[in-house]
Structure 1
Amino acid sequence: MNTKLRYLFVFVLALSVAIVGCQSTDDEPAPAEELAETVPAEEVAPAEEVEPVTLRFMFPEGAGRGPGFDSAIAAYEELNPHITIETESIPFGEYGGLLPVQFAGDSPADVALVDSSAVISYAYNGAIVALGDIFNQSDVDDFLPSLVDQSTYEGQMYGAPFFISTQGVFYNTDMFAAAGIDPPTSVEEAWTWPEFVENVSRVVESAESDDVWGLVFLSNPPGSISWSLPVIRSNGEPGSNTFMALSADGTEVSGYLDTPEAMEAYQFWQDLYVEHGLAPQGDVPDAFGNGQAATMISFSAWGSVLNNVFPDLNWDIMPIPYLETHIVHASHFMPTVAAKSDYQEEAKAFVQFLSSTEGFMAYYDVTSDMPARISLLNGLEEFQVRPLSIFKDELLTVAHAAPGGPGGAIYGDIVGSLLVDIAQGADIEAAVDAAVTELDAQLTQFK
């Protein structure tokens, strides 16, 4: 059965009317002619025109973000006709490398999405500005605490919680039915990674086509630690160095990324690509939507994309597998304001709108991403029932923030590249040793 996810969320806007009273005097009012002489028309100052402003907004392509932001921008520009928002949509696989180059240049985009695990790092380096008082306490209380923590540096928020992401496994229901495989339907029933490999291998073997992958990501292999690192962390017990993957002060990875449990998990990660051949070592565009992959790890908004672009595809969602400890990363991109922007106040106002209920719902009307506001997460019916309830249940039970801190951008870049290299067949011991050595050297600056 093809999953169709559309719900109507109705908002009622309250209108306030200000009534101004006039204070009378005992003096007889002057005739109209005298008033006209007293205040000549030509001396009344005309209403001041608002200077038009164009803001640049940069974000990574994919998962329906473009159409969603187009909808939110249209709503904002209608309320603020002097503001024009120009979007710069960057291919997902290129975004992480382009973002620091943009911030280092003389004219970065005024507003840019930054992964929540890297917000503090960019704040530390002065690339983005504190958002000041654009949020009141009721806003902060309504935001998911993990996102507030990931965006707060020295007591101020530098990123605006907008949406939240956990990871789920989209699967082709026709392929699984043909293989006689029943996937788990709740977080409590989640497969381990070995169980996933066994079952998905059977699905691939029974597929009508020989050109079917067992597993794909948005980019292959995934370059973001949001997707790959949970596999490694899941091989450690909660609170262990393997599970933490970074020291508490964010300045050391030796003894965290190279534990015996981590090394074992790296081998499993490589086997997915090399030994089992379940996942491609390069991108296969639209593999899941076109029936070339049995499963795809993505986030909730991908359901909207599948329904809109591949309406004949029958799909469902199961929870993320794990090795020893069930874990998913709870993070997402956050709107930020560039320190080099010439229109910081206007950019902050736009960011404030995006993170508001009205702004998010304008986006959500097109793309069903998970909201960063608790009130919306609990109020939107779509996330109370399957299949999207899987994401909410993961968020509330097994979700953790990705390792970050002041060196979060450096950490994410090096560890993300490490896991891509391992997936593509690199010598695991040599690659891990090189990454740990480089990271320890670079993170020393944050001690």
Structure 2
Amino acid sequence: MKRLLLCMVVLLLAAGLFAGGQPDGGSSGSGQKPVTIRVIKIDDPLEAMAFRDIVNEFHQIENGKYAHVNVEFDIKPFAELFPSITKAVATKADIDIAMVDGPNVRHFAFNNVIRDLTEYFSPEELKTWAPQSVEEGSYAGRFYGPPLAQSAQLLWYNVDMMNEAGIDVSNTAGWKLGPNGEALRNFQKLTVDRNGDGTPEVFALNTDGPWDYFYGLTNRSAGRKGSNTYKAVADDGITFVGYFDTPEAIAAFQFQQDLVYKYKVKSAQTITNQMFTGLSATHFYQDMIIGTQKDMFPDFKMGAIEPTYWETPICHTGSWHYGILTTSPHFEEALAFVKFAASDAGAKYIWKYKNQFPANVNLYNSIDEFVDPASPRHLMVEYFQKAGVMRIATPAYTEYNTLFTEFWQSLMAGERDVPALTRKYAAEMQKAAQPYKGWNSR
């Protein structure tokens, strides 16, 4: 209920800011002619509150140097965002800044949708953000956009269920996967089938959307660091055959399916708040789950350990980046806004309202929840630094992720020939990536 009321307040606040007016009613404190920069981004009520404060402070920096700059937001559902960005450039629409998901920076840079910002950020400025964020915002050795935030995952758990199952989690290291691994033994202890009908009332594992961000770790973890399996795509960014479908990857995918149909410790269905409502004992997710727990389930006892893994511990990183469109009519003002929004001063508002892992090193090193050794967020930072890698490096990430989603849905639906399914999709991913041949040699 608290989050619902918060969203209602956000919508009221956003009515003025996102409709395009200046906070002061349109007057320019700097005495300069008003300029309007437009930002296209995903629809996110919590971000609306953050950007309200970011814009307000942006108007005050450097003695009001940018008080004449209006900032308007064109918000889109996730499914419409990327096509809208491409269309804005193709039609030379009056859009200046786009929020781009980290793995898609390469795609938009390759297609000349977002501008190369390398010369506008010094090496010292790049140290503002975690190395993963700088890598995610870069293409072919050039920097295209600073981050809004970061992300990493842990295995969150119901403390009471873990205690009832007699599982010791004082050692927070991840459990190894596989038919003989510690993970399966613990998952079986956590699964509850009270009436013995073969359908558990409580599953050990939650099920999330069929996205590469979560489940692309399945195959990558099955390989040693630097191996074809670990990389999932060749260094050329377009070769998936022999990488996505290695024997190790196929075995890992098969085991994920077995968790549902053979061992019955995981549901094939995605259920909202599955762990919080008592339908699963664990949830593999980002630290934003803490905000959900605090807002909606304040009495829920939640702990965390490192995620499960096969051969190599790994977590996917990355979140949104600020990209300035090549067709922006107001580059100077757009750059100033992007620099401020991505700075420690701007990023503190994203943390305040979204409660998401900051990309800014100074920021997360100064927040108690990330510094306190007893906090799950401290564990997440340690795991991020140890095992965090960006999602696969390909300019065809959008195409790849669409195909991965189809693949995962078929896998979870019980497709019997997992090797053939994996090889089929590796070939389709490779075919879809061919238009980008030579992308990393530009």
Task: Assess, with a 3 A threshold, how the Cα gap between structure 1 residues 135 and 69 changes in structure 2: closer, same or farther.
Answer: same
How far is the alpha carbon of 1:207 from its aligned partner? 8.1
Q: Could you state the TM-score of these two structures normalised by the residue count of structure 1?
A: 0.78
Q: Deviations over 1:37-83 (max 9, x none)?
A: xxxxxxxxx98443252623412659x65554555455446665542
- The aligned counterpart of 1:32 is none
Deviation at 1:121, TM superposition (A): 1.6
| Kept after mapping to 2: 8 A contact 1:274/1:425 | yes
Aligned residue for 1:41?
none
After superposition, give the CA deviation of every residue in 1:121-148 in whole Å (9 maximum; x if it has no partner). Answer: 2110122222355433321123222221
Q: 1:345 to 1:103 in 2, by over 3 A?
A: same
Letter in 1 for 2:202: V
CA contact (8 A) 1:123 1:158 kept: yes
Q: Deviations over 1:88-115 (max 9, x none)?
A: 263xxxx2x4333212324596444322
Alpha-carbon deviation of 1:155? 4.2
Equivalent residues of 2:200, 2:264 under 8 A apart: no
Structure 2 residue matching 1:53: 3-state secondary structure: strand
Q: Which residue of 2 aligns with 1:158?
A: 144
CA drift of 1:150 comes to 2.4
Cα offset, 1:202, TM superposition: 1.9
Q: Classify 1:434/1:74 alpha carbon distance in 2 versus 1 (closer, same or farther; 3 Å).
A: farther
CA contact (8 A) 1:172 1:316 kept: yes
**Identity over the aligned pairs, expressed in percent?**
24
Give runs of aligned pairs for residues 366-405 of structure 1, distance below 5 A: 366-384=353-371, 385=373, 386-405=375-394
Cα deviation, 1:18-37, whole Å, max 9, x if unaligned, reads xxxxxxxxxxxxxxxxxxxx
Inter-partner Cα distance in structure 1 for 2:133 and 2:357: 13
Structure 2 residue aligned with 1:420: 409
For residue 420 of structure 2, what is the aligned residue in structure 1? 430
- Structure 1: gaps of 5 or more residues: 1-45
User: What amino acid is the match of 1:423?
Assistant: M
Cα-to-partner distance string for 1:335-382 (whole Å, 9 max, x where unaligned): 223345554444333322221000111221233322222222333232
Contact 2:231 2:243 in 1 (8 A): yes
Change (3 A) 1:243 1:51: same
Asked if the contact 1:178/1:206 (under 8 Å) is kept, the reply is no
Partner of 1:170: 156
Q: Is contact 2:210–2:409 with CA below 8 Å preserved after alignment?
A: yes
* Cα separation, 2, equivalents of 1:289 and 1:343: 46
- Counterparts in 2 of 1:347 and 1:185: CA distance versus 1, 3 Å: farther
Distance 1:239 1:56, change over 3 A: closer
Q: Which residue of 1 aligns with 2:210?
A: 222
Q: Distance in 1 between matches of 2:48 and 2:259?
A: 31
In the TM superposition, what whole-angstrom CA distance separates every residue of 1:204-241 from its partner, at most 9, and x where no partner exists?
31889964333225xx3332x12111121111122221
**Do residues 202 (structure 1) and 189 (structure 2) align?**
yes
Letter in 2 for 1:434: K
For 2:204, what is the secondary structure of its paired residue? Answer: strand
Q: In 2, distance between residues paired with 1:89 and 1:211?
A: 38
1:129 aligns with 2:132: no
- The equivalent residue for 1:179 is 165
SS in 1 for 2:420: helix
Paired with 2:280 and 2:48, the residues of 1 have a C-alpha distance of 24
Aligned residue in 1 for 2:83: 101
Contact 1:184 1:319 in 2 (8 A): no
State the 1:318 CA deviation: 1.1
**Structure 2 length as normaliser, TM-score?**
0.79
One-letter amino acid of the structure 2 residue matched with residue 403 of structure 1:
I
Q: What is the match of residue 275 of structure 2?
A: 288
Q: Does 1:310 align with 2:293?
A: no
Query: How far did residue 261 of structure 1 move?
Result: 0.7
Distance 2:227 2:233 in 1: 10
Alpha-carbon distance change, 155 to 179 in structure 1, aligned in 2, over 3 angstroms: closer
What's the offset of the Cα at 1:438? 1.9
User: Which shows bigger deviation, 434-443 or 335-344?
Assistant: 335-344
2:20 counterpart residue number? none
Unaligned runs of 5+ in 2: 1-28
Contact kept, 8 Å, 1:108 with 1:338, in 2: the verdict is no
Q: RMSD of the TM alignment (CA)?
A: 3.0
Distance 1:215 1:49, change over 3 A: same
2:400 equivalent to 1:411: yes
Question: Could you say which structure has the larger radius of gyration?
Answer: 1
